[in-house]
Amino acid sequence: QKEVEQDPGPLSVPEGAIVSLNCTYSNSAFQYFMWYRQYSRKGPELLMYTYSSGNKEDGRFTAQVDKSSKYISLFIRDSQPSDSATYLCALYTGGFKTIFGAGTRLFVKA
Amino acid sequence: DTGVSQDPRHKITKRGQNVTFRCDPISEHNRLYWYRQTLGQGPEFLTYFQNEAQLEKSRLLSDRFSAERPKGSFSTLEIQRTEQGDSAMYLCASSSPGTGGTDTQYFGPGTRLTVL
């Protein structure tokens, strides 16, 4: 079993839709939960990080962590074509090693 | 531009050749990471430096791979006797430990290696 499971998609939505991206994990030692966005042929860029359970909002993006279910989500409101990218969840125990999900490819159609 | 830079951006080589990649991290960051990413997968951890010390290497990193970070600044990743399975994007990231235990990593654009 992989430490982090993420549906690779692709996920295709119309412009303006609410997008829900999810990851599940198995190691309860993970304390920090991050979402990265990666455009084609570019390096990942950090979108959001959260510590412990709960919600965190930043503009059109909301990150949600449920540690009891080992489930994390990223919601994108009012999705735009410029949001089309691969979204990677990433989990960190507080040492040095970050574990990435496989990424979900998102397409937002104009 | 004060972000992480990597050179070259693309490298095509023949099987059996040696290749070397360079990463220049954000100047004030003391942590540096190398990852490998293949199509449809997330980045896989290869190795980690804190300043000039290489503190961890993944079991994925065979003895054909070596990384250095002299003087705790830029880093190089060398692959000897390349194999077709080494074809991937090699990503470098840097960070500086934050408050509360976070470790926000900033990634470079990557070096795409193709082994023919």
Average pLDDT over residues B53-58: 88
Contact call for residues B67 and B85 (beta carbons, < 8 A) = no
Contact A88 B43 (CB under 8 A): yes
Query: What is the DSSP annotation of A4-62?
Result: EEE----EEEETT--EEEEEEE--TT--EEEEEEE-TTS--EEEEEEESSEEEEETTEE
Q: Which pLDDT band holds residue B14 (cuts at 50, 70, 90)?
A: very high
Say if residue B35 is exposed, middle or buried (CB neighbours under 10 Å; 0-12, 13-18, 19+). Answer: buried
The shortest CB-CB distance from A88 to any of B42, B106, B110 is to B42
The pLDDT profile of chain A, 110 residues, written as one tens digit per residue, is 788 999 888 999 999 999 999 999 998 888 889 999 999 989 999 999 888 788 999 999 999 999 999 999 999 999 999 999 999 999 987 777 889 999 999 999 99
Contact A43 B4 (CB under 8 A): yes
In terms of CA atoms, which chain A residue is nearest residue B89? Answer: A41
Please report residues of A whose CB lies closer than 8 A to that of B106: 45-46
Please report residues of A whose CB lies closer than 8 A to that of B101: 31-32, 51, 94
User: How do residues A46-70 score in pLDDT, each as one tens digit?
Assistant: 999 888 788 999 999 999 999 999 9
B72 three-state secondary structure: helix
Q: Which pLDDT band holds residue B57 (cuts at 50, 70, 90)?
A: confident
In terms of CA atoms, which chain B residue is nearest residue A51? Answer: B102
Which residues, including other chains, have CB under 8 Å from residue A14's CB and lie 6 or more apart? A108, A109
Helix (H) or strand (E) holding B32: strand B31-37
B74 and chain A in contact, CB less than 8 A: no
Task: Report pLDDT for B112.
Answer: 97
Task: Report pLDDT for B59.
Answer: 83
Task: Report pLDDT for B45.
Answer: 92
The shortest CB-CB distance from A98 to any of B41, B105, B106 is to B105
User: How do residues B60-103 score in pLDDT, each as one tens digit?
Assistant: 788 999 999 998 899 999 999 999 999 999 999 998 876 555 67
Nearest-Cα distance to chain B for A62, in Å, is 18
